[in-house]
């Protein structure tokens, strides 16, 4: 076979990609990128690397990126003329996806990308911020920001959860308001609909079960997903039986039973447990341990470090009567039961609430393994699973034609999930990301 023989990307891949690779076959020999040297442009080869493609691993692969998309994956000799990165002893991952974040500004997306999180799913933010930041996700240009999808303004009742944040948005009181309000949210720019549903919670009102069902039905009629914030098992039962697509927290006021876990799986409802925030509320020290990790610490902003190491709300906190529902031990056990039942689990962090954009996804994956997921399953929860659940084409996988959102790490996270923190390089749209360090930090060896 010729050294220029490649496994071609699907027909939908841009013609320019094929032309670029074809021209590379007749150009100068490949140039090996020296350790620490950045890659210029958005076309390159990662040679002899372990690949986690979203499902499993393939050893000693050559991955060719051309014009910001994955062109070939295999063991054939890659085209000449492209920069070559040595992947020996390293693992190439799809760009990570945080399935539950809050994005108040572009700085959140910049922080996320520094840690290999290339897409964030926002669950409540100022819709004006979201409208400014979401359009760039469809481009393949150089950027220092993760891509954004957003729920924008949530659905909640007057004086319900979410109204305390000072954002301006309409609330809902009756089922017959649902269709018009969903239409309005989508016109504002929401990508999916989020509902805050907290039956029996202290401090807040909540929408009725009938209104919950009406909002879900209106979202589905408009062709978008409906996801629900819950913290109780009763809230989860109502939401699942109302036809919700996903729960964006796991509940922990009580332990789940096997029958309900099976029901969630049978109805194909996904769950983003957000275990990181459960631990942070109870000051279990996990955030502090993450902030102290030498693979994470040099890349944290001062604000991120403060948030990770901050004590959780105590018994005298105004929200304490509500936050008592969040128990890390019960949450871990409920995730264990959901996993055993076959429920699709997504890695989400609730950043930046006592967590950190980007960094906490690595902590969330470790917590998922503590709840019984294998490292492969935890990696899938931060890549393929959210991409599939939210229908994000070309993301969450290393596959032919997919966008080249990639993270190269030292070691093997399929054996030790914390190896995802040993980031060597991050690529967004095929362009290498400059990872900004704290002024006193020393860059790690590449």
pLDDT tens string 65-82: 999 999 999 999 988 899
> How many Å separate Cα 77 from the centre of its chain?
33
- Contact between 195 and 152 (Cβ < 8 Å): no
Q: What is the pLDDT of residue 437?
A: 66
The dihedral of CA 67, 69, 437, 358: what is its sign?
A: positive
Q: Are 189 and 130 in contact (CB under 8 A)?
A: yes
CA 362 from centre of chain: 10
Q: CA 46 to CA 72: how far, in whole Å?
A: 11
Would you call the peptide bond into 12 cis, given omega within 30 degrees of 0 as the criterion?
no
Q: Which residue has the tokens 């931060």?
A: 382
SS3 annotation, 325-362: CCCHHHHHHHHHHHHHHCCCECCCCCECCCCCCCHHHH
One DSSP character per residue, 205-272 reads B---HHHHHHHHHHHHHTT--EEEE--SHHHHHHHHHTT-SEESS---SSPPPHHHHHHHHHTT-EE-
Nearest to 251, CA basis, from 242, 243, 260 = 260
Give me the half-sphere count of Cα atoms (radius 13 Å) on the Cβ side of residue 406: 35
From CA 196, how far away is CA 157, in angstroms rounded? Answer: 8
Strands (E), 53-160: 57-66, 69-74, 83-86, 90-94, 96-101, 117-122, 147-150
Among residues of the chain, what percentage have pLDDT more than 70? 90
CATH code for the part of the protein at 96-389: 3.20.20.140
Q: Flag whether pLDDT at 2 surpasses 70.
A: no
* pLDDT above 90: residue 231: yes
- The helix or strand, by DSSP H or E, that contains position 184, with its residue range, turns out to be helix 178-188
Q: Is the C-alpha dihedral spanning 356, 358, 361, 362 positive or negative?
A: negative
Condensed to tens digits (0 to 9), the pLDDT of residues 78-117 reads: 888 999 999 999 999 999 999 999 999 999 999 999 999 9
pTM of the predicted structure, to 2 decimals: 0.92
The CATH 2.30.40.10 domain(s) of the chain lie at 15-93+400-432
Alpha-carbon distances of 143 from 103, 216, 236, rounded to whole Å: 17, 35, 38
Q: Is 290 helix (H, G, I), strand (E, B) or coil?
A: helix
pLDDT category of residue 442 using cuts at 50, 70 and 90: very low
Which residues neighbour 259 within 8 Å (Cβ) at sequence distance 6 or greater? none
- Delimiting residues of CATH 3.20.20.140 domain(s) in the chain: 96-389
Cα–Cα distance, 275 to 335 (Å, whole number) = 9
Q: Give, for 196, the enclosing helix (H) or strand (E).
A: strand 193-196
Average pLDDT, the chain: 91
What pLDDT does residue 439 have?
55
Q: CA 413, 351, 399 angle in degrees (round to 5)?
A: 40
CATH class of 15-93+400-432: mainly beta
Rounded mean pLDDT, 184-188 = 97
Residue 37: pLDDT band with limits 50, 70, 90: confident
Residue 29 has pLDDT above 70, yes or no: no
């Amino acid at each position: 076979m010729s050294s220029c023989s490649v496994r071609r990307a699907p027909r939908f891949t841009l013609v320019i990609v094929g032309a670029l690779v074809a021209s590379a076959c007749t150009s100068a020999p490949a140039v090996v990128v020296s350790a620490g040297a950045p890659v210029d442009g958005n076309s390159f080869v990662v040679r002899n690397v372990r690949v986690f493609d979203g499902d499993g691993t393939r050893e000693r692969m050559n991955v060719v990126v051309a014009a910001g998309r994955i062109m070939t994956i295999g063991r054939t000799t890659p085209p000449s003329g492209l920069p070559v990165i040595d992947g020996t002893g390293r693992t190439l991952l799809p760009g990570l996806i945080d399935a539950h974040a809050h994005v108040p500004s572009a700085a959140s997306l910049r922080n996320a990308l520094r840690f290999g999180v290339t897409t964030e799913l926002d669950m409540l933010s100022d819709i004006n911020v979201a409208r400014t930041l979401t359009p760039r996700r469809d481009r393949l240009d150089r950027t220092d920001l993760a891509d954004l999808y957003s729920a924008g303004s949530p659905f909640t009742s007057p004086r319900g959860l979410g109204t305390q944040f000072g954002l301006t948005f309409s609330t809902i009181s009756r089922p017959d308001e649902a269709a018009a309000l969903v239409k309005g949210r989508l016109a504002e720019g929401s990508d999916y609909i989020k509902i805050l549903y907290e039956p029996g919670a202290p401090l807040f009102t909540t929408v009725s079960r009938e209104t919950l069902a009406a909002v879900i039905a209106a979202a589905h009629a408009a062709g978008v997903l409906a996801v629900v914030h819950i913290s109780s098992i009763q809230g989860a039962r109502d939401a699942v039986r109302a036809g919700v697509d996903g729960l964006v927290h796991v509940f922990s006021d009580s332990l789940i039973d096997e029958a309900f876990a099976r029901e969630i799986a049978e109805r194909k409802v996904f769950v983003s447990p957000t275990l990181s925030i459960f631990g942070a509320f109870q000051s279990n020290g996990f955030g502090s341990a993450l902030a102290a990790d030498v693979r994470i610490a040099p890349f944290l902003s001062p604000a991120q470090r403060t948030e990770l190491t901050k004590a959780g709300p105590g018994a005298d906190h105004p929200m304490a009567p509500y936050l008592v529902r969040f128990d890390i031990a019960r949450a871990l056990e409920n995730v264990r039961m959901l996993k055993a039942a076959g429920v699709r689990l997504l890695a989400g962090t609730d950043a930046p609430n006592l967590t950190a954009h980007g960094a906490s996804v690595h902590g969330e994956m470790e917590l998922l393994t503590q709840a019984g997921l294998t490292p492969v399953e935890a990696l899938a929860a931060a890549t393929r699973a959210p991409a599939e659940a939210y229908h994000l084409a070309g993301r969450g996988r290393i596959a032919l034609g997919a966008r080249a959102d990639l993270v190269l790490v030292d070691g093997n996270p399929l054996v030790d999930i914390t190896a995802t923190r040993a980031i060597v390089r991050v690529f967004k749209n095929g362009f290498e990301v400059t990872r900004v360090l704290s002024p006193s930090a020393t860059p790690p060896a590449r």
